[in-house]
Amino acid sequence: MELILDSAVIAEVEEIAAWGVLDGVTTNPTLIRRSGGDFKRTVQRIAELCSGPISAEVTALDTEGMVAEGRDLKESLPDNVIIKVPCTAEGLAATSILAGEGIDVNMTLVFSVSQALLAAKAGAAYLSPFIGRLDDRGEDGMHLIAEIMQVWNHNPDLTCKVLAASIRSVEHVEASARLGAHAATIPYKVFKQLIEHELTDSGIESFLADWDAVKAEGRN
């Protein structure tokens, strides 16, 4: 499963990229605003730090506007930048046009199996079901991932990658992996938690204590 960072903060991308496990980065207007950076310069720098797909979102809501923005972003930013488009009728049409021109699209704000199927049929390279937002409504976000993957398993012609989004916890990441999601986009805080375990910490403390004892005995 591809591990993708959901962030527009350069320092966060630099840190996770240094681990050697980062497969891509997703951004959106909200993340860009919170980062305080210029949109294109921020995406440009992120694309330099990570060679995987970097999602840059359009802001237009009409097909013509989405296509124009998508073309501009693809022409003005590095090759690994892909275009993030909302799952609407206009977004489907824009995705079909952009995909037909060889421009990869990440269709975002997917909340149902039918939306996922339409995104794939339109030619999206990735589709992003929002787990956490469904959980917020009292629904089971992971159940949506399970349903989508069931459809994908029965239809091998569907090549669009399922990118679990709106991740809120390590459990969301692990469940997405178990269900066979192709990728997960993970907030910085949760990404950091993936490496944490109390037994790892206690094991290191024990090893260091033993090494200190060895040195004290002059056996190093």
Question: For 34-46, how does the pLDDT look when each residue is reduced to its tens digit (9 = 90+)?
Answer: 888 889 999 999 9
Neighbours of 206 (CB within 10 A): 10
Mean pLDDT over 83-102 rounds to 98
3-state SS of 65-132 is HHHHHHHHHHHHCCCCEEEEEECCHHHHHHHHHHHHCCCCEEEEEECCHHHHHHHHHHCCCEEEEEHH
Catalytic residues: 84
**Sorting pLDDT into bands at 50, 70 and 90, what band is 219?**
low
CATH number, domain of 206, equals 3.20.20.70
- The pair of structure tokens assigned to 60 is 């237009």
List the Cα angle 128/175/154 in 5-degree steps.
65
**Sorting pLDDT into bands at 50, 70 and 90, what band is 210?**
low
User: Which residues, other chains included, contact 5 with Cβ-Cβ below 8 Å and sequence gap of 6+?
Assistant: 12, 13, 16, 22, 24, 25, 26, 50, 185, 186, 188, 191
Task: Supply the range of the domain harboring residue 32.
Answer: 2-216
Task: Give the helix/strand (H/E) hosting 13.
Answer: helix 10-17
pLDDT of 96 above 60: yes
pLDDT of 148 above 90: yes
Q: How many structural domains are present in the chain?
A: 1
pLDDT of residue 117: 98
- The pair of structure tokens assigned to 206 is 């024990």
Mean pLDDT over 169-197 rounds to 96
User: Which residues, other chains included, contact 18 with Cβ-Cβ below 8 Å and sequence gap of 6+?
Assistant: none
